[in-house]
Amino acid sequence: QKEVEQNSGPLSVPEGAIASLNCTYSDRVSQSFFWYRQYSGKSPELIMSIYSNGDKEDGRFTAQLNKASQYVSLLIRDSQPSDSATYLCAVNPIRLTFGTGTRLTIIP
Amino acid sequence: GAVVSQHPSRVICKSGTSVKIECRSLDFQATTMFWYRQFPKQSLMLMATSNEGSKATYEQGVEKDKFLINHASLTLSTLTVTSAHPEDSSFYICSVLDFGNTIYFGEGSWLTVV
């Protein structure tokens, strides 16, 4: 079992809709969770970090964490074409483990 | 968050030569930096953890004699690809671990070996 699993996509979402990205992880003692966005040919940039169960909102982005289910998700509201990118889920900072990423395409 | 700068952003070198990539933490003294490699359409692969003042810790399968890492100061880590071959052509990215235990990435360096 991979340490961090994501659906590779591609995920296509109409402009203005909600994009939902999901991630599961295997290490139950994981404490820190991150979502990064990576545009083609660029390095990843941090979007959200979450450490506690529940929701964390930042603008159009909401991260959701459920440690019991070992599940973390990212919701993007009012999706824009500029949100089209690969989204990487990452777990734990010391030896950051990335998922393979979900490629999101926002359709105008 | 931490500001991380990499140089060069793109480099082309001849097969058999060596190339050095620099990673600087501009606003934060980083005791720990990480080096990743990413092939097209693939995920990030951690190559090594760079610790200031000590030897780097390499991931399994990464040749330490081929990918030389030096972290001589709290603001600079370098990755030298020695005797480069075309299969070493890739996107190399460094990152910094800040006090908040968050990773911030440099802009990345595209290496093409011809």
| pLDDT for residue A1 | 59
**In chain A, what percentage of residues exceed pLDDT 70?**
95
In Å, how far is A96's CA from the nearest CA of chain B?
8
A93 CB neighbours in chain B (<8 A) are 97, 101-103
Higher pLDDT: B72 or A11? It is A11
Kind and range of the H or E run holding B24: strand B19-25
Radius of gyration of chain A (CA): 13
A22-47 tens-digit pLDDT: 999 988 888 889 999 999 999 999 99
pLDDT band at B52 (very low <50, low <70, confident <90, very high): confident
Taking CB atoms and an 8 Å limit, are A34 and B106 in contact across chains? no
Name which of A28-32, A64-68, A88-92, B17-21 the model is least confident about.
Answer: A28-32
For chains A and B, what is the number of CB pairs under 8 angstroms?
44
**B76-81 sheet: strands from edge to edge:** B4-7, B19-25, B76-81, B67-73
Q: Are B43 and A99 within 8 A, CB to CB? A: yes
CA distance A85 to B14: 32
Residues of chain B found within 8 Å of residue A46, distances taken between Cβ atoms:
1, 102-104
Return the minimum-mean-pLDDT range out of A67-81, A92-106, B70-84.
A92-106
DSSP A51: -
Contact yes or no for B32/B49 (Cβ under 8 A): yes
Q: Is A95 on the interface with B (CB under 8 A)?
A: yes
**Average pLDDT value for residue range B38-58:** 89
Q: Is the pLDDT of residue A93 over 60?
A: no
- The residue with greater pLDDT, B28 or B47, is B47
Q: How confident is the model at residue A97 (pLDDT cuts 50, 70, 90)?
A: confident
- B21 contacts in chain A (CB < 8 Å): none
